[in-house]
Chain A
Amino acid sequence: METIRNFLIRKRGGSRVDLTDFLTYLYLGAGTLVMFGPVVWVAISSFKTQAQLIEFPPRFLPYAQETIEIAGYDEPLPLFLVTVNGEERELAQVRRVGIEAQMIDPEIPLAKPGRPSQDEVIKVNIDDRKKVEKVKLALENYEDPLEKFKFATYLKNSVIVTTVATIITLIINSMAAFALSKYKFFGRDAIFVTIIATLMIPISVILVPVFLVITRLNMNNTLWGVIIPGAATPTGVFLLRQYMLTIPDDLVDAARIDGASEWRIYWQIILPLACPALAVLAIFSVMWRWNDFLWPLIVLSRSELFTLQVGLNAFQGELQIQWHYVLAMTVLTLLPVTMVFAFLQHFITSGIATTGMKG
């Protein structure tokens, strides 16, 4: 018992659980609820039918009314719970006339299929019936909008943009960082200071002129127009340079004496040693590119080029908020990130924690 408690609480010296421990776990529990809750709620809501989504107050699980197939009727009939003569019965509704619902008992077969006689019909006030419901996922929310919300296309574009941009970012930034950290040459400090000065100037500040450059280069409405402008990120150069400074120059000199070319020194000595910093930049780059919204929104206007974010935004604007579809597509959009995070969470959080300090 003692060991289990110590394991759970892992307090130094196994002292008593006090109020602060209680508050700590209370905070962490509430935090988990607040951080995950909204996403979970959206995920659950995305499986509800349109009718259930406008229900207020909302219920937790997705329900759907039970229906039953009865010979003689094309559509399955909705089931209701009705009290007839003090006895609760499950009845199928055939028709509704004003405030009167005409029901039949599905247990008793009709004399003429599809045409119940006056004796067989049970007439009930619509306020006296209760829907028979069961938990059911409205999967059509996911199937129907795929014609309009071209998930596969958007996903493909997002994946292309993210991968290509990250690869380019890693290569050109590590090359520049290598030059800035391992060589002495004329103009080095000037270049570095320029990069530093633009460290925090985001693309949102120079929207108009970058758009102009893109248009001039005929990159408007292409994925390259999304990929290239952010590739030479000053943050990346800065991060990698700071890391490469910690790699001893002796290694480079020794390789030179052994006759290695500069390019070989770069890719066979510097790159492997800078792996932790490269990994962090890769994480950042993937996060920036996958979630990027404003710049793709400006560059891309043809829907077959939309990234997931732009596509989702266009979809929600177009539909005048048909929530049952929008929610399902939101879940599809957040799914890839969530899955990657589930597998790599330790790597991502510890990576950012170590290098975030220097950035």
Chain B
Amino acid sequence: MSRIDAARRVGVSPRFSRKTIGDLFGDVFSLLFGFIMNTIDLVITPIQRRIGIRRMAYLFLVPNMLIFSIFVLFPMLLNFYYSGTAGTKLFPEDRTWVGTENYQTLFDCEDFTDPNSCNEDFFWRAVSNTVVFVIFQVGGLVLLALLTALILNREIAGRGFFRSVFFYPVLLSPVVVGLIWKWILQRHGLLNGLLETFDPERDATLFLLERNWAAFWVILVSIWAQMGFYTLILLAGLQSIPAVLYEAGQIDGANNWQSFRHITLPLLMPTMFVVLVLSLIRAVQVFDQVFVLTGGGPGTATKYMVQYIYETGFINQIPRRGLAASASVLLGGVLLVFTLFQLWLGRKSEVT
């Protein structure tokens, strides 16, 4: 239903015959588009005559593959080489090969449970912060998104409106989100103001300057900013469950909880896994919002993996790009595991 809807809105089949300014733009656009495409056709058709229809596939792939190889594939391979070099020079030919030294530096720890005992203690702080962040952020995010999706799936007035309400923060840029919450959480901010009206005796809390509070708010703010996206996906999953099943359940005497437990949850599982993996992958890369909100502080309380890579490779006075590259190889490895996991799950759910 909504796909048809979307198609109609894109302009596949205009609903109104009356010409609007939008239609005029559309006409001009399609004229221009047709002209450009026809011109390209003049160039491409002779090529097609020479190489044959089947090899045209390569021609269609060229632009994408060119950019993909230069800016994704090649850098990825280069990253491995880079992680084995040291020095402050940028270009690989100027750098000295040191083998696994960077990795040894990263893993040079007396006791892996205590970041302080490590040579590269910032890295391990970042790792442990990221693990804590991922667990609580993803957990909270999935639970809240599920709850919201379930509520939006009820027979309520103004569902479209509320769906948009919860989605709105997703569109805000991380910098804007960071600044908005920095303003609310600061010493003389709205939150302290509200808390004081309930309890005038209370001293203002420095939410962003106390370690635990900062870590807590970073998680909450990122849930706030992302929840709407996953709510939408879960809601779509819920709406694709046929109503017949619930009616059948009712006839069999299932109560609300039982139909949730035995119909909704199992059928929502594939969607839940998509949401889980997508949010995991994003949570591991947490950076920008937090960078604006706390700058990684207080101390290193909210410094995460990507910020470690960014600072080590670009910001520090003596950039240690080799070290940054090896840290990102490790991060990439974690993400790859999540991706493969998702693909494996996707295949499994396709089979069943």
Contacts of A352 in B (CB 8 A): 229, 232-233
- B287 contacts A188, C-beta separation under 8 Å: no
Contacts of A280 in B (CB 8 A): 6
Return A91 CB to nearest CB of chain B, in Å.
30
Return A330 CB to nearest CB of chain B, in Å.
5
Contacts of B48 in A (CB 8 A): 261-263
Contacts of B224 in A (CB 8 A): 34-35, 38
Contacts of A312 in B (CB 8 A): 175-176, 179
* A interface SS class: helix
Contact with B along A130-174 (1 / 0, CB 8 A): 000000000000000000000000000000000000000001110
* Leading 4 A-B pairs by shortest Cβ distance: A209-B75, A183-B57, A176-B64, A57-B193
Q: Provide the bound-state CA to CA distance between A324 and B188, in Å.
A: 14
Q: Provide the bound-state CA to CA distance between A111 and B156, in Å.
A: 70
Which of B's residues lie within 8 Å of A, judged by CB? 2-3, 5-7, 9-12, 37, 40-41, 44-45, 48, 53-58, 60-61, 63-65, 67-68, 70-76, 78-79, 82, 90-92, 147-148, 151, 154-157, 160, 162-176, 179-181, 183-184, 188-190, 192-194, 196-197, 204, 224, 228-229, 232-233, 235-237, 240, 271, 274, 278, 281, 285, 287-288, 292, 306, 309-310, 313-314, 321, 324-325, 328, 331-332, 335-336, 338-339, 342-343
Contacts of B309 in A (CB 8 A): 204, 207-208
- B339 contacts A231, C-beta separation under 8 Å: no
Interface presence of A64 (CB below 8 A): no
- B2 contacts A173, C-beta separation under 8 Å: no
Return A272 CB to nearest CB of chain B, in Å.
7
Given A209-B79, A293-B175: A232 in contact with B310 (beta carbons within 8 A): no
Interface presence of A298 (CB below 8 A): yes
Interface presence of A290 (CB below 8 A): yes
* B interface SS class: helix
- A334 contacts B72, C-beta separation under 8 Å: no
Which of A's residues lie within 8 Å of B, judged by CB? 7-12, 20, 24-25, 27-28, 31-32, 34-36, 38-39, 41-42, 45, 53-58, 171-173, 175-176, 178-180, 183-185, 188, 191, 194-202, 204-213, 215-216, 228-232, 234, 237, 256, 261-264, 266-268, 272, 275-276, 278-280, 287, 290-291, 293-294, 298, 308-309, 312-313, 316, 323, 326-327, 330, 333-334, 337-338, 341, 345-354, 356-357, 359
Return B267 CB to nearest CB of chain A, in Å.
13
User: Which of B44, B154, B170 contacts A263 (CB under 8 A)?
Assistant: B44
- B324 contacts A208, C-beta separation under 8 Å: yes
Q: Provide the bound-state CA to CA distance between A57 and B338, in Å.
A: 46
Contacts of A198 in B (CB 8 A): 72-73, 76
Contacts of A215 in B (CB 8 A): 90
- A262 contacts B64, C-beta separation under 8 Å: no
B66 nearest CB neighbor, chain A only: A232
Contacts of A337 in B (CB 8 A): 171-173
- B63 contacts A212, C-beta separation under 8 Å: no
- B71 contacts A349, C-beta separation under 8 Å: no
A212 nearest CB neighbor, chain B only: B90
Return A236 CB to nearest CB of chain B, in Å.
9
Return A270 CB to nearest CB of chain B, in Å.
10
- Other than A28-B151, A41-B184, A338-B168, give 20 A-B pairs with Cβ distance below 8 A: A35-B169, A38-B184, A183-B56, A199-B339, A200-B281, A200-B335, A206-B75, A207-B324, A208-B79, A212-B92, A229-B67, A261-B44, A264-B37, A287-B171, A291-B171, A312-B176, A313-B175, A313-B292, A330-B179, A346-B160
